[in-house]
Structure 1
C-alpha cells in the first residue's frame, strides 16, 4: 500500500531535519547545507542512511526525527525554537508503522530515531521509547535500532531506551564547556557527561550479568543493554575551538565513557543565524581530517597527544592526512625494514592500513619480501616506498623533507597555476 501524501510530506520534512545528526552515518557522503536546501536528508533519498552494526555489517537505516519542533534555542541548530522552518511531527505509532513498511519493502534494515525537545525532555524521551516499544514488543521487530537519548531526561527513560536499542547516542554537541554555554545555554556539559557515565555503567553491568550467567551455565535474564554501545557527535566550525581541542575532547570521551564512536559534523550555515555564528561552512575536508585523526588513535596505536603535537596553530593540515604529517615530522623513525618491523611500527607507515599490514605479516612469514611484492600488498607503493627498505630497495634521497612534501602534497590544478578560480 503506497504511503499517503500527508505521510510523505512529513517524511520529507523530518528526514531532511535529521540529516545534520552524523552519529549514525558514514562521514562525507554528501554536502550538507541548511540554506536553500530542499532535498531529503539522506544518501539515497527518503531518509535512508548507511551505518555499521556491532558485527561490522554496513546496513541501511531509516533516519528520521520524531519531530523538528524544539523548545531549546541552540544557536547552531536549524530546528531551534526561534528558527523559521517548516515543522512536522510523527506519533510513535506512525514512526513504527513507517519503519515496518520500509523494512518489509526491503528498503532498510533498521531505524535511527532522534527528535527535537517538545514539552519537556521526559515527554520527548517517552515518545522515542514508545516508538521502540511498539516495534520490539508489538511487532517483534528484530531489525537494528539506534535511539538518540536526551541527557536531561529521567534516567529510567534512558534505561528503557537502552533495553530496546542496539545502540544509543547522547550528543556532546560542542568541543568545550565554554562553547556550549555560549551557543546552547540550556544544555549542560556535566549533565551530558553524567548521562553518558550512567549509560556506560548500564552497558558494563549488562555485560557482566551476561558473563556471570554464561559461567553458571544459564541463559542471560534479558537482552543486553545497548549491545552496540553508545556514540556521540561534535559540531565542528560553529565556534572558534581548534582541532587540538576537538581531538583532546574526543580522547577524553573515549577514555571516560568507552564510546564506540565520536562523530564529527561540519557546521552548516542556517537561515536567520544568530550574531556571532560563521557565515560560511568550514571546509568538509576538516571534518575528514578529524575522522582520520580519530582513526589513528582508535586503531593505529597513536596517542592523541602525538597527533596534537603535529598541528600548526592547533589545526590539522588540510593538504596532508595526519599520519603523513606525523611521518614527515618524525623522519628519524624511518625507514623501516619491511621484513623485520613489528605490526605497531608498520601501522605508522603512510599508505599502509590495517589490511595492508596484515597482508605483509602473512606474506613475510612464508619468505623474504622484495620491492616487487609491495606492489601487490600495498594499496599505494608511491606512498609506502619513502618509508621502508627491502633487500632490493632503499629510499635514499626520498626521505629528504622537501622531496617528501613535493611527493605527497596535492598538485595545484592548472587553473590555479594562473591565479584563476577553479
Structure 2
C-alpha cells in the first residue's frame, strides 16, 4: 500500500504520475522512498490514478487534463481540511513524464504557480523526444509508422506522427516550443532532474530519455564509465560519464574468436527458438488487444470531447502558445521496439556538422555530496567522436529547447536485469531490481528539494 499520508502541517505537495499501461502501484517504491526521507508533516504525496491501465491509450493531452484536474481537486480538498499548500513538485515515470509536462502547462495557464511555488520536476525513463527510432528512408514505415498505430492516440503522439489541434505539428514538438505555456511552466521549477537508462531500456532508449542527439553508450566495451562516488556501478557521473577504454592486454586468435562466437551463438539458441515459436502468436494477440483497446480509447476520447467523461474540456483548452493564441502486450511491444537499430547522420556532411554541437549534460553542478573528480582530471571521449543520431529536425529542435530550459541529467546503468525500464524505479518489489533503489536513494538524498 502506498503511504501518501496527510498532515495539516505539510505545505509541500508532490504528485507522482505513472506511465503507459501503468497504475499507481508501479510508483509504490518511489512514494515509500520519499516518505522514508520526508514524514507526513513535511510532505503530502498524491499518486495520480485517473489514467490507470488502458486509459493511458487516450493520449498525452487527455491524460494531462485528467492529472491537472486531479491536482486541482486535491489542493481544494486540502484547503477545505485546513491545509495550506505552498510548494509543489511533480515526478513522472515513462509516459507519465510527458503527461506531467502537459499538466504543468495547463496549471501555468490557470495561474496555479502564482500562488504555489514550483520546486522539483523529475522524470525517470521518460521519452521526452518520443519513441521514434532514429532511422532514415523506408525503414521508418516498418516500425515508426506501423508501430505508432498500435497504441491509439498515445502511440501516434509518442511516434510523433500526429498533428496536434490546429498547429499542424506533433504534440511533443508543441510541448517543447519555447513560446508555449508548457515550456514557460516547466522553466519556473527550481530544479529539473531526469534519470535515463543507458542500456537495456526496451521501452524508451537513452537518446530520448536523456534528451540527447548523441549516444556515447552504444559500444560499452570500448569505453570506461565513471560513477558518482557512493552510487558506484549504477549512477554515472553526469559531467564526465565516459572515458576511453584502456587497450586490451591480449588479443584473441582467429580460432579463439571463432570459439567465443560459437559459444555465444549456442548460448542464445534457446532464446532464438523461443522467439521463432512464440513471436507469431504474440504478434497476433498483441494486435488484437491493441485493436480492442484503440476502439475503447476512441470511444472515451469522444465522450471526453463532449464533456461526458467527468471533465469539461473547455476548462483546459487554453491557448497553447504564448505568442500566438497490460504485461504481455507491453513485453511484446518492447521486444519489437528494442530490435530497431539506430542510424546516424553521415560524418563530415553539412547536415551532421550543423547539429554536431554537444548539448550540455547537466544544467548545474551536483551538490558536494555527489561530487566526483573534476572533469579536467579525467580523460574523456570527445564529442566529435560520437556521431549524431539521425533524429528528425523537429526532434533536434526539441533537444535544444529543453536543454535551454536546463535539466540535471543522470545516466543510469542497470546491470542485473534485461529490462531496465521497470528496474529504474523498482516497479515491482523483487531483488533483481535493487539497483533501482540506488537510483531512488540518490534522488531523495541529493536531488529532491523539500
User: What TM-score results when the alignment is normalised by the length of structure 2?
Assistant: 0.28
What TM-score comes out, normalization by structure 1 length?
A: 0.29
State the structure with bigger RCO (CA 8 A, min sep 6), 1 or 2.
2
For the pair shown, the structure with the greater C-alpha radius of gyration is 1
